[in-house]
Amino acid sequence: MNLRDEGLIFSTASLTWMEVASNKEPAVSDSLHLVCPHCNAVNRARAQRLQESPNCGKCHEPLFSAHPVALTGASFATHIERNDIPVLVDFWAPWCGPCKMMAPQFVQAAAMLEPRARLAKVDTEAEPALGARYGIRSIPTLALFKEGREIARQAGAMSAQDIVRWAESRL
Ligand SMILES: [Zn+2]
């Protein structure tokens, strides 16, 4: 096998791709990866089109519907690592009174923060491994993830306005 030839083929392919991208597609920096809350497909959408309620290319459901997405052990990593927008996660449990009180506030916050951020929920009773992995000691706990890393955390129930204010101060 001739490595030099392989390198030439690779660079030619890259140039072709860049030409296509600059002529027909938006620049790479203008497009964002968004994980569908319904089917978990990774979509690519123009950043400036996010306000126009884009639909998932796979299941055709809206990528944003002003509602938090329930994450499981199977879908958590995809949403945290593949979304180019920050993901705000509410770690909660069905037996937790303050969590239930905060749930409608978190839904309201989703309407205010989308599409700048994705809001998600993790039921720590159904998904104890996720709660353990992130060392969730009290619930509700909000954790803000950006590019796969946790950048902020806040424990305790909050109003929709406080959730939005807290998230915006860290985005
Ligand atoms: Zn979808």
- Alpha carbon of 37 to ligand 1 centroid (Å): 7
Give the pLDDT of residue 61.
Answer: 97
- Alpha carbon of 12 to ligand 1 centroid (Å): 33
99 is catalytic: yes
Count of CB atoms situated within 10 Å of the CB of 3: 7
Cα(119)–Cα(107) distance, integer angstroms: 8
- Alpha carbon of 16 to ligand 1 centroid (Å): 29
Side chain identity, residue 126: A
Contacts of residues 66-70 at CB distance under 8 Å and 24 or more positions apart, as own/partner, are 66/107, 66/110, 66/111, 66/114, 67/37, 67/107, 67/110, 67/119, 68/106, 68/107, 68/110, 68/119, 68/120, 68/121, 69/37, 69/118, 69/119, 69/120, 69/121, 70/120, 70/121, 70/122, 70/123
Report pTM. Answer: 0.82
Angle between the 160-168 and 97-113 helix axes, to the nearest 10 degrees? 60
Give the pLDDT of residue 116.
Answer: 95
Residue 55 per-residue DSSP state:
B
- pLDDT in 10s for each residue of the chain, 171 residues: 444 444 333 333 333 333 333 444 445 568 999 999 999 999 999 988 888 889 999 999 999 999 999 999 999 999 999 999 999 999 999 999 999 999 999 999 999 999 999 999 999 999 999 999 999 999 999 999 999 999 999 999 999 999 999 999 998
Give the pLDDT of residue 1.
Answer: 43
Answer whether 103's CB lies under 8 Å from 163's CB: no
Structure tokens at 36: 């569908």
Catalytic annotation, pick one of 39, 56, 59, 99:
99
59 is catalytic: no
Give the pLDDT of residue 17.
Answer: 36
User: Residues within 5 Å of ion ligand 1 by Cβ?
Assistant: 36, 38-39, 41, 56, 58-59
Answer whether 113's CB lies under 8 Å from 161's CB: no
